[in-house]
Structure 1
Amino acid sequence: MLDISLILLIGFMVGLAKAGIHGTTLLSVPLLALMFGGKASSGLMLPMLIMADVFAVHHYHRHANWQFLIKLFPAAVVGVLLGTWLGEKIDDALFVQIMAAIIFVSVALMIWLERNKTKVPDYTWFAVATGTLGGFTTMVGNLAGSVMAVYLLSMRLPKNVFIGTAAWFFLVINLFKVPFHVFVWETITWDSFKLNLMALPVIIAGVYTGIWLVRKISEQHYRWLVIIMTLVAAAALLPQ
């Protein structure tokens, strides 16, 4: 019963995150890992992420900036392949600590960019580095949200373009990850997918709750919400 309640809570949090309330997915990662283990939890969460991605894309698809997506996708594919290869060799605890450090650095960069009203030049190398790191971290731990937030915030995208671009990026990359979880890691099974289907109603509720909340938040306040939620999520990844 506790497992099912946790799945439903995480489903709602995933829906919120995909609708633009950034950071709630990162908060759910350590909860799921604590209950099911690192790699298993990654496979258990992936279908929930894809379900939420579909609804987020349906709502925000017109706002996506494909100029950035085209630069990110090839590198993200490389990152996913690296993550698949190295995933079994990385200790869960060490990976979480590394991710916490990366996220804290990301938050520091986001705050610096925000306080100085700075836009990072749209260098190809920056997109390649972000895409590779995003693909790797999303494959190994579904933790690429903060990596993408740094890139998209640094481009100073309006909130709807930020959400729409992220939604398309993660829908495509998460679908690309499915065969590796099914056939290589074997972390997605029919039994795990039945749990995902059970969470679908709360995922939908989370998405539309998030859409409603985002409409209430100003552009400037939204940027700071992303930063604060990312910081909270990083703190949740630290060892207890």
Structure 2
Amino acid sequence: MSNLDILLAVTATLLLGFGKSGIKGLGVVIVTLMALVFGGKASTGILMPMMITADVFAVIYYHRHTQWIFLKKLLPMMIVGVLIGVWWGNDISEVLFKQIMAFFILITVVIMIWMDRTKSIGIPRHWAFSGFMGLLSGVTSMIGNLAGAFASIYLLAVRLPKNEFIGTAAWLFFIINVFKLPFHIFVWKTVDEKTLQLNLLLTPALIIGFFLGVRLVKVIHNDLYRKLVLFVTAAGALIILFR
């Protein structure tokens, strides 16, 4: 690895810790930086153990705010989506996948902005909405570690306050990432002894990023937090579309 590769990997790991602390929408940047260093598919396996480690920190710190009812709505179809992603991940064109994902993210963000501007108080409760968002989250989680955009949109749509949003997302991704890990080890073979050694070297940056993020989240007001997540999510979709 060159010095630039090390810098990119450490930066991505810092951002991963930052994102898991509650600063959502950074997934696209993290995945892009890691893919530049290690390649697309290989980078998903390198990220997986670090994501689970950061999930553990987030679950411990925010567990008291978890809203389990929304996990129950999202998880079943999210698991189905992961299984589809395992099967589909080796065959789909990466360009087509990115374009479809970016399209859905941008459409849903536009809907969310419209709901905010019109002061719509309706909260989507139909099972089809949670099922659709869960399915998209699962597929994109397995193929690109990019489920955060769809999960964030869903949790914003049901109007969870900041801490409840973070606590619910923490448990959601801890469960789904643990579920994904065996597929990375035994099917895609993207996690092995060498990648775990690299994870150990990057872990300090992950921890630093998490606790810096926690301090920032504390000072962000609920309304500003909602707008920040929407903005970063939309920006991430544009990066996916045009990178």
For normalisation by structure 2, the TM-score amounts to 0.94
| Alignment map for 1:79-228 (pairs within 5 Å) | 79-118=81-120, 119-228=122-231
Number of the residue aligned with 2:28: 26
After TM superposition, the structure 1 stretch with the greater mean CA deviation from structure 2, 198-207 or 161-170, is 198-207
Question: What residue ranges of structure 2 are gaps of 5+ in the alignment?
Answer: none
The 1-side partners of 2:234 and 2:90 are apart by: 28
The 2-side partners of 1:41 and 1:91 are apart by: 17
Output the amino acid matched with 2:48.
Answer: L
The 2-side partners of 1:44 and 1:97 are apart by: 24
1:161-211 deviations in Å (ceiling 9; x for gaps): 001001100000000000000000001111111111111111111111111
The 2-side partners of 1:210 and 1:117 are apart by: 30
CA contact (8 A) 2:78 2:136 kept: yes
CA contact (8 A) 1:66 1:165 kept: yes
Shift of 1:37: 2.2
Question: What residue ranges of structure 1 are gaps of 5+ in the alignment?
Answer: none
Matched-pair identity in %: 48
Figure out how many residues of one structure are paired with residues of the other and give that number: 240
Give the 4+ runs in structure 1 shifted more than 4 A: none
**2:5 counterpart (3, 6, 14):** 3
Shift of 1:99: 2.0
The 2-side partners of 1:35 and 1:238 are apart by: 20
1:3-36 deviations in Å (ceiling 9; x for gaps): 2222211111011111111112221112222332
For normalisation by structure 1, the TM-score amounts to 0.95
